[in-house]
Amino acid sequence: MKIELHSAEKVAETLGVELDTLYRYARKGKIPGLKVGKAWRFLDGDVREFLQRQRYFVKTLAPKAALLPDVPKRAATADVVAGGVKSGGGEISYADAEAASNLLAESLLSHGVVAGDLVLILLSNSLEFVVGCFAVWKAGAALVPENPSLKDEDLRHILEKWAPHALIMDLDVAQRLEAQHCGLENIRVVYIKERTFSFSGLGAGRVESLDAVLESKSGHKVLRIYSASPDPFAAPLPAV
Give the pLDDT score at 146: 94
Q: 140 burial class (0-12, 13-18, 19+ CB within 10 angstroms)?
A: middle
Q: What is the mean pLDDT of residues 22-39?
A: 85
Distance CA 237, CA 224 (A): 14
pLDDT in tens, 41-61: 888 888 888 887 776 555 554
Distance CA 46, CA 41 (A): 11
The dihedral sign for the CA sequence 212, 218, 219, 224? negative
Q: What is the mean pLDDT of the chain?
A: 80
pLDDT at 233 over 60: no
* 3-state DSSP assignment of residue 223: coil
Read off the pLDDT band of 1 (50, 70, 90).
low
pLDDT at 133 over 90: yes
- Which DSSP letter does residue 80 get? T
Read off the pLDDT band of 171 (50, 70, 90).
very high
5-61: in CATH 1.10.1660: yes
Question: Which of 118-132, 156-170, 208-222 is predicted least confidently?
Answer: 208-222
pLDDT at 231 over 50: no
pLDDT in tens, 191-201: 999 888 887 77
Distance CA 98, CA 78 (A): 13
Give the pLDDT score at 97: 87
* 3-state DSSP assignment of residue 202: coil
% of the chain surpassing 70 pLDDT: 78
Q: Start-end ranges of CATH 1.10.1660 in the chain?
A: 5-61
pLDDT at 63 over 60: no
CATH superfamily of 68-237: ANL, N-terminal domain (3.40.50.12780)
Global confidence as pTM:
0.64
Give the pLDDT score at 38: 79
Task: Provide the Cα torsion 212, 191, 237, 149; round to 10°.
Answer: -140
Give the pLDDT score at 83: 67
- Which DSSP letter does residue 149 get? T
Q: CA-CA distances (angstroms) from residue 43 to 5, 49, 51?
A: 5, 10, 13
Distance CA 117, CA 133 (A): 14
Q: Which residues contact 14 (CB under 8 A, 6 or more apart)?
A: 6, 47, 51
Position with higher pLDDT, 208 vs 184: 208
Cβ distance 195 to 209 under 8 Å?
yes
Strand partners, 36: 39
Q: What one-letter code names the amino acid at 210?
A: L
Position with higher pLDDT, 75 vs 8: 8
Q: CA-CA distances (angstroms) from residue 135 to 69, 138, 207, 229?
A: 8, 5, 17, 22
Q: Start-end ranges of CATH 3.40.50.12780 in the chain?
A: 68-237
